[in-house]
């Protein structure tokens, strides 16, 4: 089974990680690095994929209160900021895995299993891909591919700043429909541990082999300056 390199960053700008992702994607295409996950948090920014214009998101008056970036992933408008775990899979998907829908489903299943490990029952919703909880979306997914190596990824809201993501019409959904675990009252797991980044990372990495079919390596501290 393939190995999965785990790069754990602290807070890095979306722009710098986007650039690093592009470089890592090229290295993965050339088999110069193994399959890789980047775990990171971004300062507040709203990213706009191609669907954002079709959704009318660019006309959202609330958007003027946020820094924005245009990106080349699938999907529309996505919020990033404190209290959100962002995971970027730089993975070379094999022949039997090469279906965009099945890759997205695999990532959704992975997140739902991690939430279940914390005592939370997430699910899919026909209105939009991602992971939902109690009628609200708590995890967004948007990918880009080159030679079946993925870039961009998923954003799981666990304790975002109140009313920041909720003020936006993310991915064409009504404002208020995208929110965080904390806002829905999910602050601790079944053992009483705080649902923070460390707890969610732990659950995701324990389940990575089962859902991503790759064996996680020991996480290493990482920053964009290490990409050459």
| Predicted model pTM | 0.95
Which positions are catalytic?
A: 171
CATH number of 3-226: 3.30.930.10
pLDDT means per 10 residues, the chain with 228 residues, are: 96 96 97 98 94 74 90 90 98 97 98 99 94 98 97 98 94 92 98 98 98 98 82
Domain residue limits, the chain: 3-226
According to the model, what pLDDT value does residue 228 have?
Answer: 56
CA distances from 69 to 8, 44, 52, 73, 115 (A): 23, 11, 11, 12, 29
Query: In sequence order, which residues have a C-beta less than 8 Å from that of residue 210 and are 6 or more positions away?
Result: 113
- What pLDDT sits at residue 53? 72
pLDDT in tens, 70-125: 998 988 899 999 999 999 999 999 999 999 999 999 999 999 999 999 999 999 99
CA distance 166 to 173: 10
DSSP at 154? E
Q: Could you tell me if 170 and 140 are in contact, meaning their C-beta atoms sit under 8 angstroms apart?
A: yes
């Amino acid at each position: 089974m393939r190995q999965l390199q785990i790069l754990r960053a602290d807070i890095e700008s979306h722009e710098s990680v986007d650039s690093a992702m592009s470089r890592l994607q090229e290295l993965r295409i050339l088999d110069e690095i193994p399959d890789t996950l980047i775990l990171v948090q971004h300062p507040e920014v709203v990213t706009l994929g191609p669907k954002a214009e079709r959704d009318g998101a660019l006309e959202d008056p609330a958007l003027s209160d946020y820094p924005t970036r245009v990106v080349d992933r699938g999907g529309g408008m996505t919020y990033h900021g404190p209290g959100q775990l962002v995971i970027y899979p730089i993975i070379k998907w094999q022949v039997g895995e090469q279906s965009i829908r099945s890759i997205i489903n695999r990532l959704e299943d992975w997140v739902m299993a991690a939430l279940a490990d914390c005592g939370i029952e997430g699910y899919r919703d026909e209105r939009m891909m991602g992971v939902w909880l109690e009628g609200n979306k708590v995890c967004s997914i948007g990918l880009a591919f080159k030679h079946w190596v993925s870039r961009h990824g998923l954003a799981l809201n666990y304790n975002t700043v109140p009313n920041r993501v909720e003020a936006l019409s993310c991915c064409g959904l009504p404002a208020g429909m995208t929110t965080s675990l904390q806002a829905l009252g999910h602050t601790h797991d079944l053992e009483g541990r705080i649902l923070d980044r460390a707890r969610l990372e732990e659950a995701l990495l324990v389940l990575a082999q089962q859902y991503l079919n790759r064996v996680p390596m020991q996480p290493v501290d990482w920053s964009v300056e290490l990409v050459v």
